[in-house]
Amino acid sequence: MFVRAILEMRWTRAALACVAALILVTTGASAAEPRRVLLIHAFGHAYSPWSDMAGSFRADLVKKSGEPIDLYEVSLDTARIQNPREEAPFVEYIRTLFLGRKLDLIVPVGAPAAFFVQRHRSELFPATPMMVVGADQRRIPKASLSENDTAVLLDLDLPAYLRNILRVLPQTTEVAIVVGNSPVERYWTSQFVREVVPTADPVKISFLNDLTFDEMLKRAAAMPPHSAILWFLLSEDAAGVPYSEDRALDTMSKAASVPVFGMGDYQLGRGIIGGPLMQTQALGQQAADVALRILKGEKPSALNPPYVVFGAPIYDWRELRRWGISETRLSSDSIVQFREPGVWRQYRWQIIAIAGILLAQAAVITGLFLERRRRQVAELELRHRLMEVIHLNRTAVAGALSASVAHELNQPLGAIQSYAEAALLYLNADPPNVTRAQQILANILRDDQRASKIITHLRGLLKKRVESEMQEFDFNDVISDTVQIVGPEALKKGVDLSVHNANGALPVRGDRIQLQQVIMNLAMNGIDAMQGCGPGQGKMSIKTSLTEDSAVEVSVADSGSGIPPDRLNKIFDPFYTTKGHGTGLGLSIARTIVETNGGRIWAENRPGGGAMFCFTLPVSKAITA
């Protein structure tokens, strides 16, 4: 059988420092001789939990010792070897190591190492004190220790592991225990079977010791709901593959579909939930204390150090979070480690700054919204006011035209009266002339319709509206409508009104009544401007045309005195008037209406005298298309 031994000697850096300091301070030859301590590992120095115990012990010993400590560490793989007869070379090796050197303390770490030393105690420096560290009290009975021996032992409370799982996850129905297949691990499997399984019911306990690690991972990944994994010890799997330093725990924890619990504090942070744990730190410290007392000359067998038991339960905050376990489930003396600082604690100022910015932004946005709302309300109000002013202007114009309108109404009304009286006369005649009367009644009907048309038209002008009414129409019709109302006024004022409509339709989309108002305003202005003209001199011409860039152009020209050139730009301003009785709003409103309907309005003087007001409107595409 091939035996592989890893032999290692180590001078710790701390020890060197201590030695150097002592050399400088002290002078005596005996004081310069360091205290030699031999640590014996059974698995190799990097196997948990023994490496963790040794680390803690080492650090504490060096720290607490007033004398230089010369630490030797020997790592054997004997724990995985079944046959003790092959151990002779190791014994020989250690003896050779300390030939001519005084050894002060032998420290086997873990039960296998203790067994090795106990087996060879007679050969391995029987006069040197031995201190067993990190074995369980089940493995090293007091009776097996000689006068020169002592032990800092653990007392693993196996049922406490299950209790903890059930406390944290009360619905657990199955617990798979990860344990390896080396002799020491098989021992613990049997201990579980004896101490935990009988009282576990109804929780089902299974052991993964007969699986390779890959198989264990598959099992872990396929664990049913309401189950848990207890990672106890895995130094070597069923295939004999060694796993040092519990690196395998990280892999398992990541792969597992259920929470993973552990056995020792050294596993915390590697993916276990936590709970009551074996205390490697405390063990190391206690062992260091005992070692120092032995080094000072106390008799080992008299020391009787107490067992190292579980401390307060310790949990990994991240794992609790990962599995959604509430901290209220933990006992009140629990310690929660790896608590990530809250986002608030970590990014407090950033959060305050961002929140501040957001608040400021929100305030600005709200402000803008309010402002927008206010502006909308104001715009609506403005539009209504404008509509009111436009309407007032229309009523004013209609008022100014009232005499003409009365005249227009009087024509059909006068006709109706005359017809009616004629019809009466025909019907009262002897014999009654019924045929004639019938003709007359037909005429009465026609004139009545004419009168009602005038009234409808007038009502359209006087009707108060809140919003513009957009519609499609032929602009020539608007001219006809307007002339019907303005015509009599022109006649009355002695103005010769002529209309030149463009050939063909002038499709326009806009507010028909308002656009009619524009022409009325312009025409009334023109008529007023020609009041000073002699009889037969007042001539007004209303013309419509389609321009080359497809716009409807309307011009209202008069033969008055024209507009002073310096006022051409001002006449569309509100409250600008040259008339004694004007409001100065007519042209301003005309401009507003034209611009609202997408057009442009301007004034110019005619070469032959008189003013000409023109405006354009876009041709409606809906009709032309």
Site residues (vs other proteins, CB under 8 A): 403, 406-408, 410-419, 421-422, 425-426, 436, 440, 443, 446-447, 450, 488, 491-492, 496
Q: In the complex, what is the shortest distance from the CB of residue 424 to other proteins, in angstroms, rounded to a whole number?
A: 8
Q: Pick between residue 446 and residue 464 the one whose CB is nearest to other proteins.
A: 446
**Residue 125 in tokens:** 């420096």
**Residue 112 in tokens:** 């296998």
Q: Pick between residue 265 and residue 558 the one whose CB is nearest to other proteins.
A: 558
Distance from C-alpha of 607 to C-alpha of 609, rounded to nearest angstrom? 5
| Helix axis angle, 348-400 to 434-462, nearest 10° | 140
Q: Quick one: which H or E segment has residue 461?
A: helix 434-462
Distance from C-alpha of 223 to C-alpha of 238, rounded to nearest angstrom? 20
Q: In the complex, what is the shortest distance from the CB of residue 600 to other proteins, in angstroms, rounded to a whole number?
A: 33
Three-state SS sequence of 56-121: HHHHHHHHHCCCCEEEEEEECCHHHCCCHHHHHHHHHHHHHHCCCCCCCEEEEECHHHHHHHHHCC
Q: In the complex, what is the shortest distance from the CB of residue 419 to other proteins, in angstroms, rounded to a whole number?
A: 5
Q: In the complex, what is the shortest distance from the CB of residue 469 to other proteins, in angstroms, rounded to a whole number?
A: 32
Q: Pick between residue 202 and residue 536 the one whose CB is nearest to other proteins.
A: 536
Distance from C-alpha of 150 to C-alpha of 137, rounded to nearest angstrom? 12
**Residue 259 in tokens:** 């929470």
Contacts of residue 72, Cβ cutoff 8 Å, sequence gap at least 6: 9, 10, 36, 37, 38, 39, 97, 98
Q: In the complex, what is the shortest distance from the CB of residue 411 to other proteins, in angstroms, rounded to a whole number?
A: 5
Q: In the complex, what is the shortest distance from the CB of residue 407 to other proteins, in angstroms, rounded to a whole number?
A: 4
Q: Pick between residue 160 and residue 425 the one whose CB is nearest to other proteins.
A: 425
Q: In the complex, what is the shortest distance from the CB of residue 530 to other proteins, in angstroms, rounded to a whole number?
A: 16
What is the DSSP-derived secondary structure letter of residue 619? B
Q: Pick between residue 212 and residue 484 the one whose CB is nearest to other proteins.
A: 484
**Residue 206 in tokens:** 């299974």
Q: Identify whether 126 is preceded by a cis peptide bond (ω within 30 of 0).
A: no
Q: In the complex, what is the shortest distance from the CB of residue 562 to other proteins, in angstroms, rounded to a whole number?
A: 25
Q: Pick between residue 277 and residue 437 the one whose CB is nearest to other proteins.
A: 437
Q: Pick between residue 535 and residue 608 the one whose CB is nearest to other proteins.
A: 535
Q: Pick between residue 58 and residue 457 the one whose CB is nearest to other proteins.
A: 457
Q: In the complex, what is the shortest distance from the CB of residue 526 to other proteins, in angstroms, rounded to a whole number?
A: 17
Q: Quick one: which H or E segment has residue 291?
A: helix 280-295
Q: In the complex, what is the shortest distance from the CB of residue 382 to other proteins, in angstroms, rounded to a whole number?
A: 41
Q: Pick between residue 494 and residue 618 the one whose CB is nearest to other proteins.
A: 494
Q: Pick between residue 412 and residue 599 the one whose CB is nearest to other proteins.
A: 412
Q: Pick between residue 251 and residue 433 the one whose CB is nearest to other proteins.
A: 433
Distance from C-alpha of 103 to C-alpha of 65, rounded to nearest angstrom? 16
Q: What does the DSSP assignment read for 151-193? A: EEEE---HHHHHHHHHHH-TT--EEEEEE--SHHHHHHHHHHH
**Residue 553 in tokens:** 């152009």
Q: Pick between residue 530 and residue 617 the one whose CB is nearest to other proteins.
A: 530
Q: In the complex, what is the shortest distance from the CB of residue 484 to other proteins, in angstroms, rounded to a whole number?
A: 13
Which residues sit opposite 276 in a β-bridge?
Answer: none
Which residues sit opposite 260 in a β-bridge?
Answer: 229
Instruction: Tell me if 76 sits within 8 A of 41, measured CB to CB.
Output: yes
Q: In the complex, what is the shortest distance from the CB of residue 428 to other proteins, in angstroms, rounded to a whole number?
A: 10
β-pair type (600-605, 611-618):
antiparallel
Q: What is the Cβ-side half-sphere exposure of residue 237, based on CA atoms within 13 angstroms?
A: 16
Instruction: Tell me if 76 sits within 8 A of 4, measured CB to CB.
Output: no
